[in-house]
A and B are shown apart, each in its own frame.
Chain A
């Protein structure tokens, strides 16, 4: 697991009702795998991936996968503040998750207040067309009403997963370039990428074969 160089680290937070598939999305995004069954998230989990926001510029997306369970709400709330991007996920086969969108959105906005966060709405499980309870149009209308970007995704087919994260990464980067977002001390939403580690200690010079570390 060798760490390539990146310019910035964007901290994103995934919120939404329990069992909408947040962890599945991230798992697919980071590992390209999909598991039908997985344990509910405890507290918060972390995923990370590098993305190219423009040719030659890579950013590291550190994604906080929060527990959707109500009992973790008090904890997950404390993680909003240090996020630059918020991805709100609902399940298109579960109407209630869509109806909670507004609540999630406002909670996130309230806790992120001093900083302008970039939001993204994902209607997940788009592969389950049979059980659809929320049309794509409804989801899109909600997003447009609040000026947010919208995708319908599927961790099973991989539909729009990559695009979604690419979109939010590019938007964030653009905001950064435009000066809407700035690097700030005490705020970890955006952190400078670490340059090549200078503490390089040449402890040994081998033939440079790649060990099984990765």
Chain B
């Protein structure tokens, strides 16, 4: 149905051309006002629309007007694009909210005819009713936009378009001139009507009116003085000349496309609004309409007439979409579905006209002179449309921000308060981050200290029965190490001396070296068969040491041995052994004694080694000294064994008396174990003397040979 109307309007090609003029003015206004919302759609489409607009505007007439229009469009585009880039703040104003999209789409529709018909088709959907449109009419911007002076936006693009449009204009001029050579105002009015159609359904709705009441109404409107009158005039001139070349061939397509686009835009708008509504309602956000109303009450008050027109126009859009539904909608403000349309169309148109008149008067009050009321009214309407669109956009944007904010808050609260899992997770994380309380730390420290103390105590006790530790304490280990160093040094010396020795000398000394070596190797083979019978330790030791002719007395060794023996004797002399000491003490004493004896034995070997190397005493052969040392070591080992046996007997006695055999047995074992350890150290020390003796033997042999 709207299509029909559109067709009708399309037929009025010249008129359309004129209408395009209006468009151009509108666009200019938009650009002036700086609300480039339509262009925001961005991409090629807006351009196309604008271009079309421009074309139309150009076609309408004067290059200047066209230029302005184009330029403004371009600028508006540019602005819009720029703004689009800078998001949020500008987005408020220019976000492609439903309203904005509607508007922009409307112009697009024209361009899209040329450029992107397919999109239109696709876009085409069933648009139901645009409630919003009727709701949001805020005329705020109108005043501002109107008041704004035209700035000149000359961009290269604009020129391009100019060229194109100029051609169009030339062609269109003819047709226009034919049909409407007369009045500029008429032309403008007509063109305005066309514009409406082409621009958007809003306009088409009016076009329908125009088609019906058409030219009649135009003159009425002409009374009003439009702010853009100057431009219009210019445009009008051009418009006359311009034929609707493009309109002619493309009108039907254009209309169809327009319709589709309109439907699309309205649909989109609706869809968006419904979505937003639903979101808002669910979130409890005030509806954009309310917001918009809240924002604009003053303006509404000040410009009631315009309001009316504005309200009417959105309905017209709808009407155009759905045929004449708009008119009704104008009345009800929710003119959704009417298929009766045509009948109601007239009232709507009349309303519009009235509104236009009111506007005109209002505008005239602004001090604008009247050129063509019609044109003005149309302009106003279109402006209103745009403005409403913009405001809607703004409001929606603002509302959108509010919504976003609210959504954010809701989300946060939901997440934080209504998600037990999250809370748990958070608590868990917090717990992990949390440091243990002071009390727990102290407790841990206390426990650690206890454990440490216990361990220390244990280790201390362990050290008391640790033969190696005790051996080291008594410097036995140091002496062993020193002896090892001495031994290694002697061994190196022996090697170097032997290698440097002459053959005969080597032959002379070899038997002695072998003899010494044999003595050392056989020393303990004998001993192992040796009995553990009691022996006179100090006598044997002293004897053997004196055999070494080293001038050293085994004082330390003998003293230590005596002490040990004394202790054991004391132990046996007591009737009640357990009164003197318990098993553990005996064990400690035993191991301590073994360590002492061993340390002193090793020290004795060490000293012997040092002295053997230094003394040039040749009274005793080194073989003999080796034998003495072997005997000494065997005495020492025997003594260690005897001591171990005696201590074990002590332990066993205690075990028997106290009935703690199980407890004592491991102690006895440990004593025997450490005794074998001690024997090992003694034998090692003894073996370390072999190179030392060899070294000494060679030295003395060399000394003799010299």
Interface residues of A (CB under 8 A from B): 1-3, 5, 42-48, 62, 64, 71-72, 74-75, 78-79, 82, 188, 196-197, 199-204, 206-209, 211-213
Contacts and interface: CB of A to CB of B under 8 A. Distances in A.
Nearest to B586: A211
A213 B464 contact: yes
Nearest to B553: A39
B580 to A, nearest CB: 11
B464 A204 contact: no
Contacts of B607: 42-43
Contact of B478 (A42, A46, A203): A46
B481 A75 contact: no
Nearest to B610: A43
B534 to A, nearest CB: 26
Nearest to A214: B464
Interface of B: 455-466, 468-470, 472-475, 478-479, 481-482, 485-486, 489, 552, 581-585, 587-589, 592, 606-607, 610-611, 613-614, 663-664, 666-667, 669-670
Given A200-B462, A204-B666, A1 B582 contact: no
Contact of A75 (B460, B464, B614, B669): B614
B458 A82 contact: no
A164 B666 CA distance: 46
Nearest to B455: A196
B482 A197 contact: no
Nearest to B489: A78
Query: Which residue of A2, A72, A79, A82 has the most chain B CB atoms within 10 A of its CB atom?
Result: A2
A82 B485 contact: yes
A79 B485 contact: yes
Given A75-B610, A196-B456, 6 more contacts: A1-B470, A2-B464, A3-B463, A46-B479, A188-B481, A211-B589
Nearest to B457: A208
B552 A42 contact: yes
Contact of A203 (B470, B587, B614): B587
Nearest to B474: A1
B611 A211 contact: no
Nearest to A195: B459
A209 B585 contact: yes
Most buried by B among A3, A43, A46, A203: A203
Nearest to A11: B478
17 contacts: A3-B469, A5-B459, A43-B606, A44-B482, A64-B478, A74-B613, A75-B614, A78-B486, A79-B482, A197-B459, A197-B469, A199-B466, A201-B465, A201-B670, A211-B588, A212-B589, A213-B589
A197 B464 CA distance: 11
Contacts of A213: 464, 588-589, 592
Contacts of A47: 475
B584 A196 contact: no
Contacts of A3: 463, 469, 472-473
Contacts of A44: 482, 606, 610
A27 to B, nearest CB: 13
A190 B669 CA distance: 35
B583 A204 contact: yes
Contacts of A82: 485
Nearest to B481: A188
Chain A CB within 10 A, most for which of B466, B468, B482: B482
A71 B475 contact: no
A127 B470 CA distance: 36
A61 to B, nearest CB: 12
A95 to B, nearest CB: 28
Given A200-B462, A211-B581, A1 B473 contact: yes
Given A43-B606, A46-B478, A213-B592, A201 B462 contact: yes
A43 B611 contact: yes
A74 B616 CA distance: 14
A78 B667 CA distance: 41
B470 to A, nearest CB: 7
A62 B478 contact: yes
A170 B412 CA distance: 62
Nearest to B555: A39
Given A72-B610, A213-B592, A2 B475 contact: no
Contacts of A197: 459, 462-463, 466, 468-469
Contacts of B459: 5, 196-197, 200
Contacts of B470: 1
Nearest to B582: A206
Contact of A204 (B486, B610, B667): B667
A195 B16 CA distance: 104
A44 B481 CA distance: 12
Contacts of B466: 197, 199-200
Contacts of B481: 188
Given A43-B606, A200-B458, A204-B587, A71 B614 contact: yes
A2 B463 contact: yes
B680 to A, nearest CB: 16
A78 B663 CA distance: 48
Contact of B584 (A43, A62, A211): A211
A72 B475 CA distance: 20
A45 B466 CA distance: 23
Contacts of B589: 211-213
Nearest to B459: A196
Nearest to B458: A200
B152 to A, nearest CB: 80
Contacts of A62: 478
A128 B537 CA distance: 44
